[in-house]
Amino acid sequence: MIISKGITFGKGIHIGEDAQTYPKYTVTTNKYAFLQGDTLTISVTTQNVLDGTLLYWNVEGLILPGYMNVQSGSFKIVNNQATINVTFLNDLRSLVNPGMSNFFYVSIRTSPATGPIVASTQKCIISAAGIAASGGTTSTVAGYKYHVFTTSGTFTPTFIPEGSTIETLVVGGGGGGGASLGGGGGAGGVVYTAAQSITTIPYAITIGGGGPTGSSGGSHGVIGGNTDLASFVTALGGGPGGVGGGGTSTATSTAGASGGGGSSSLSVFGCPGGTATQPTSQWGGYGNTGGNGIDGVPNTRPCGGGGGAGGVGGNAGYYYGGNGGIGYTNTMLVALQLGQSSGGYYYIAGGGAGNSTGTRTPGTPGLGKTSFGGGGNDSNAGNAGIVIIRYRV
């Protein structure tokens, strides 16, 4: 069988018996995935086609009228080539099917729309740019849109391009410090998720409060509140600091996302700091154990520091309380400049410092203790948690 005209599809595969004399056509696009506002450049090359030959192009596929400033037309070949530029609209959200990417291809014909196709591109896709959503305090930094929740609320996506995901950072409330010059509160748990799939439904967000300190009569602090991002993630509250002045705390009584600092004790061994429950939870994440308390020299009862999301709480010494564990930092916090600043980084969820009775030295709070999810120093409440969501725009 002899093909009267050569036909080239996409990558230039030619059908025909005489490649030396029959016309050949190739059409390509500048890329194959497009967003709203992009420019589609259609490049046509030919062989054995006379200068001035009139050809016709058309955009076809699962694409509606109005996506582009123009979707068909004609052009002339000059020196075996031609270029057509088409611009997509700046806002396609009312046209693109929600949650889908629509496809198209460009065809070249030798006569208007009903004529034979002599070349065609491979399939291309078009999506509205970025996720559209509301909720929290919003800002746009370096190509990302952020939603920050410091109080409970709702994150509501209204448009999600096919395959899009969000990043999330969820932080629980810090534990309260122990009363009577007690142990530092443990930091709230931290859970970071790099790629969370979502749909166009509202997502309830609950922010965990900081745990109160122990009562003035001498008691442990109170565990911090959990922070929930719908059913996806729970960041647990930080453990409470142990009571000061020679109490009788145990490890389990100061457990939390990061453990609270252990009490001093009438025993020479003191009481151990609380264990960290966030890393072993079903959500994983960051948390560390609290420091141990110890029985000091006469008339002193040093207590341990609370665990931080980034490091363990410090053990108490004979003459000083334990330091709080260091907190957590990542690129989201740096971009927003959110948290306790140090060396160009921003930290949250540091552990509270332990203290000691008598004229002794208290520990140093962990970096990030003063920010979201920080554990309370002795006799101080912990800090509330936070949720941060971001996605590319």
- Which structure tokens are listed for 141? 């930094």
Q: Does the pLDDT of residue 101 top 60, yes or no? A: no
Give the torsion through C-alpha atoms of 198, 199, 202, 203, to 10 deg: -20
Q: Does the pLDDT of residue 310 top 90, yes or no? A: yes
Return the number of other C-beta atoms located less than 10 Å from residue 38's C-beta.
17
Return the number of other C-beta atoms located less than 10 Å from residue 266's C-beta.
12
CATH number of residue 106's parent domain: 2.60.40.1930
Q: Judge residue 218's burial from the number of C-beta atoms within 10 Å of its C-beta, 0-12 exposed, 13-18 middle, 19 or more buried.
A: middle
182: in domain: yes
- 109 & 171 share domain: no
- 140 & 94 share domain: no
For residue 9, what pLDDT band results from cuts at 50, 70 and 90? very low
Print burial letters for 197-214: b (CB count within 10 Å at least 16), e (below 16): ebeeeebebbbbbbbbbb
Mean pLDDT to the nearest integer, 152-171: 90
Mean pLDDT to the nearest integer, 356-377: 90
The predicted-structure confidence for 28-54, as pLDDT tens digits, reads as follows: 999 877 776 778 899 999 999 999 999
Mean pLDDT to the nearest integer, 14-29: 73
- 275 & 361 share domain: yes
Q: How many domains does the chain have?
A: 2
Percentage, residues of the chain above pLDDT 70 = 83
- 120 & 246 share domain: no
202: in domain: yes
The predicted-structure confidence for 111-160, as pLDDT tens digits, reads as follows: 887 788 999 998 887 765 678 899 999 999 988 899 999 999 999 998 88
* CA-closest candidate to residue 351, choices 283, 284, 290, 285: 290
Mean pLDDT to the nearest integer, 365-376: 96
81: in domain: yes
* CA-closest candidate to residue 275, choices 261, 255, 294, 295: 255
Q: Residue 231: which residues within 8 A CB-CB, separation 6 or more? A: none
Write the DSSP string, 310-362: SSPPPPPBTTBPPPPPP-B--HHHHHHT-SEEETTEEEB-PPPPP--SSS-B-
pTM to 2 decimals? 0.71
Write the DSSP string, 151-214: S-EEEEEEE--TT--EEEEEEPPPPPPPTTT-PPPPPPPEEEEEEE---SS-EEEEPPPPPPPP
- 213 & 320 share domain: yes
- 111 & 36 share domain: yes
Domain of residue 154, residue span = 130-393
Q: What is the DSSP letter of 220?
A: -
2: in domain: no
- Which structure tokens are listed for 285? 């994440």
Distance CA 199, CA 100 (A): 12
